[in-house]
Amino acid sequence: MGQKKNERRIDENAAMAKGRMLRTSPQKLNLVAQSIRGMKVEKAMAELTFSRKRIAQHVKKVLESAVANAENNHDLDIDSLVVDKAFVGKNIVMKRWRARARGRTGKILKPFSEITIVVKEVEEAA
C-alpha cells in the first residue's frame, strides 16, 4: 500500500530551506532575518555579504540553499525570486557553569537557534 504523499506546506511558486543548530541566540538571528525580509534575492545576498554580523554568513548559506531548491527542485526562475518569509525559532540551549566565590556556580547559557527562509517567484509589474 505505502504511505500517502504529503501535501506541500508552501505555495507552488515557492521554495524553502532551513538552517538548524546555528550557534547564536534567536534574538540576534532575528535582527539579520528582519534585514532581508521582502527583498529581492540578489539584493538580500549583497546585504548578507557585507553585513557586520557574524551569523549573516550562515544565513547567506541558507538563502543560497533556498535559491538552489527553487531552481533545481521546483523549476523557478532565480532572477524573479523574492525572500517571502524569513523566520527564526529556538533550538537547544547548552548549559555550562563557571566557578564563583564561596563554592557557588554561575550559569552560562549557550543558545542555539534555527532559521527558515521561503523564497517566492513573483511576476514583474510592467
pLDDT tens digits for range 5-15: 888 889 999 99
Specify the pLDDT at position 124.
Answer: 73
Whether the predicted pLDDT of 126 surpasses 70: no
CA distance 37 to 119: 10
In a domain, 4, yes or no: no
CA distance 16 to 120: 9
User: pLDDT over 90 for what percent of the chain?
Assistant: 89
Closest by Cα among 71, 93, 69, 79 to 18: 69
Q: Residue 35 is part of which domain span?
A: 14-121
pLDDT tens-digit series, residues 55-110: 999 999 999 999 999 999 999 999 999 999 999 999 999 999 999 999 999 999 99
Domain with residue 113: its CATH number is 3.90.470.10
CA distance 29 to 9: 24
